[in-house]
């Protein structure tokens, strides 16, 4: 297995991806064939569960897009099942301490580097035993920094061996800083982002941002992040529908309804 997105992240090359919240196989199949580097299936907040994942991940097979899963919690069984189903990496939420980070890494790695139980169902079917020889090197372990506690322990988290990158959930980071949602220009938010990027740079980690739209993704890359999402399947549908409705009604752009929210 070669994780093409992880290869880009390690080389610090800009990388764009798509966020998937809907358990629609055809949507996933279409999106991952649009020359994006990765697609993330969201089991934490998305409208999908593990049974959906077993159908969504095969839709990515055979293309260059790397399938990632945001698990619902930092639990070995959830991380292991996502990887066994064919994910090439996980995004782990609410990582607040170095111990949290070590637990996430351990769940991603086979012994002796970790404690992942051996049973890679889809990967074994597709690749055979060869998967086991490359999995520890090619599975991406990304941990989220989104709380005040996580920021306090940022340097210790970033220094944990086996963490491949830090990922920012901007709304939760706002909440963690005691800011109103969407306060992305607040000095406290900007300072937190600068500290996260610095920690990634010092520890050789990739830096990722949940981008709510293409503009936010472009800005994130321009400001030093290695990878960002350009939006979600839901936001694409909502924005496209509103634009089509506005055009059909002959409304001027200034009067057109605006699609708000990234989900």
Distance of CA 3 to the CA centre of its chain: 14
Select from 159, 135, 133, 157 the least CA-distant residue to 146: 157
Pairing of strands 140-145, 89-92: parallel
Burial status of residue 25 (CB atoms within 10 A of its CB: 0-12, 13-18, 19 or more)? middle
Select from 116, 226, 99 the least CA-distant residue to 159: 99
CA-angle at 143, arms to 137 and 144, nearest 5°:
160
- The residues carrying an active-site annotation are 45
**Distance between CA atoms of 181 and 183, rounded to whole angstroms?**
6
Helix ranges (H only) for 109-204 are: 121-127, 130-138, 148-152, 154-158, 170-176, 187-203
Record the tokens describing residue 165, joined without a space: 């990158």
Q: With H, G, I as helix, E, B as strand and everything else as coil, classify residue 88.
A: coil
């Amino acid at each position: 297995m070669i994780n093409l997105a992880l290869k880009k992240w390690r080389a610090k090359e800009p990388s764009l991806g798509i966020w998937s919240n809907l358990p629609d196989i055809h949507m996933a199949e279409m999106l991952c064939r649009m020359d994006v580097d990765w697609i993330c299936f969201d089991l934490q907040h998305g409208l999908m569960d593990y049974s959906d994942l077993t159908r969504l991940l095969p839709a990515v097979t055979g293309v260059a897009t790397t399938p990632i899963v945001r698990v619902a919690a930092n639990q070995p069984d959830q991380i292991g099942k996502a990887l066994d189903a064919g994910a090439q990496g996980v995004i782990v939420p609410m990582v607040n301490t170095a111990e949290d980070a070590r637990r996430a890494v351990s769940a991603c790695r086979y012994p002796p580097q970790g404690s992942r139980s051996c049973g890679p169902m889809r990967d074994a079917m597709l690749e055979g035993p060869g998967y086991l020889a490359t999995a520890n090197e090619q599975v991406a372990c990304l941990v989220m920094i989104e709380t005040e506690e996580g920021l306090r322990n940022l340097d210790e988290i970033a220094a944990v061996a086996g963490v491949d990158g830090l990922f920012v959930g901007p709304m939760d980071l706002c909440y963690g800083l005691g800011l109103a949602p969407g306060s992305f220009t607040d000095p406290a938010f900007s300072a937190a982002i600068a500290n996260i990027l610095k920690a990634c740079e010092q520890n050789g980690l990739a830096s990722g941002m949940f981008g709510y739209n293409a503009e936010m993704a472009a800005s994130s890359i321009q400001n030093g992040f290695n990878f960002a999402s350009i939006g979600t399947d839901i936001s694409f549908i909502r924005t496209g529908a509103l634009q089509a409705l506005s055009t059909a009604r002959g409304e001027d752009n200034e009067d057109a309804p605006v699609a708000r929210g990234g989900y």
